[in-house]
Structure 1
Amino acid sequence: MFRIPSVCLCLFASLAIAGESSKPARLTVAQKNGWAAYDAELKKKEDAVNKACGSSVKSSYDRSTYPAFDPLKDRTQSACQMAVGTLVEVCGTADGKAAVKESVTQTVCRLSTEGTKVSLDGSVLTIHIDPGNTSISGKRPEGAYSWKSAYEELL
């Protein structure tokens, strides 16, 4: 008779714990300010890309990939800005401009643990930034890539 109530109690306790872990962590003021600064700087790069490419690309960070974001320690902001800003160089040629304008509506920077690279899914250009492996990879296993060469190979 004591087993059923204790089983129920354990079930309710585990559900309560599961419910707590599924809630997003509360951001500190420093984190909120950090994200605001990141977004403001990324918007400047976005504006430059749209001006150079004649496009309407929107840029953002995939915040869900930053589980323990600390704006004082994070080092991916400059890589993201550089990667997005490099689209201006791609649009320096007629073919590059046409490719960006036709193929890309959104850029998303995400924290990665599987290498630094770029991928295109539909019209979303995802920039994978791995602080532990900053060499940009592309389709070929050999060779050194820049953001521009990785884009040109992909687009």
Structure 2
Amino acid sequence: MFRISSVCLCLFASLAIADESSSKPARLTVAQKNGWAVYDAELKKKEDAVNKACGSAVKSSYEKASYPAFDPMKDRTQSACQSAVGTLVEVCGTADGKAAVKESVTKTVCRLSTDGTKVSLDGGVLTIHIDPVKRSISGKNPENYSYSWKSALEEVL
């Protein structure tokens, strides 16, 4: 009886330690830090263009935690993120689009995805899901394979 409870206690303790250590972010290399700095600077340019065109105060960022093995030399999702955020300028080309962005979007977040490339809007946060494998943009109609960033954004706004 003593052995079973000791084994259980050790198992729970090791699980707790493993869980605690897995929640710590990995140390970034200089290349990764520089890569993120470039990504952030380029995204800021898109953010500024959106705010100028839409009369908004949208903030944009990457959900860096969704990039578990970020390699700035191999990753190519930044262009999709910048393209999607930049497309908000086109959406604001109409009065209805401009009003929708101003009223509905306070923040854009680009997230690495494994369940398709798409956009979602929740509580003012426009999330841009970028799947490097499933690159076609999807929307509410699964049979429609001709979504663009503009049509996907207009569909959620």
TM-score (norm 2): 0.90
Matched to 2:92, the amino acid is C
* 1:46 CA displacement: 0.0
For the structure 1 residues 14 and 93, does the alpha-carbon distance in structure 2 shift closer, same or farther, using more than 3 Å as the test? closer
Give the fraction of aligned pairs with identical amino acids, expressed as a percent: 79
TM-score (norm 1): 0.91
* 1:56 CA displacement: 0.2
1: CA distance between counterparts of 2:124 and 2:55? 16
2: CA distance between counterparts of 1:153 and 1:16? 44
2: CA distance between counterparts of 1:96 and 1:10? 55
Q: Deviations over 1:21-52 (max 9, x none)?
A: 22111111111111111000000000000000
> What is the root-mean-square deviation in Å for CA atoms of aligned residues?
1.9
Secondary structure of 1:39's aligned partner: helix
Counterparts in 2 of 1:2-151, with a 5 A limit?
Answer: 3=3, 7=7, 12-143=13-144, 144-151=146-153
For the structure 1 residues 125 and 12, does the alpha-carbon distance in structure 2 shift closer, same or farther, using more than 3 Å as the test? closer
For the structure 1 residues 77 and 9, does the alpha-carbon distance in structure 2 shift closer, same or farther, using more than 3 Å as the test? same
Secondary structure of 1:114's aligned partner: coil
2: CA distance between counterparts of 1:137 and 1:39? 25
For the structure 1 residues 49 and 17, does the alpha-carbon distance in structure 2 shift closer, same or farther, using more than 3 Å as the test? same
* 1:142 CA displacement: 2.0
Q: How many residues matched?
A: 155
For the structure 1 residues 18 and 153, does the alpha-carbon distance in structure 2 shift closer, same or farther, using more than 3 Å as the test? closer
For the structure 1 residues 19 and 89, does the alpha-carbon distance in structure 2 shift closer, same or farther, using more than 3 Å as the test? same
* 1:93 CA displacement: 0.7
5+ long unaligned stretches in structure 1 = none
Q: Deviations over 1:35-78 (max 9, x none)?
A: 11100000000000000000000000011110111111111000
2: CA distance between counterparts of 1:115 and 1:10? 37
Matched to 1:149, the amino acid is S
* 1:132 CA displacement: 0.2
* 1:133 CA displacement: 0.6
5+ long unaligned stretches in structure 2 = none
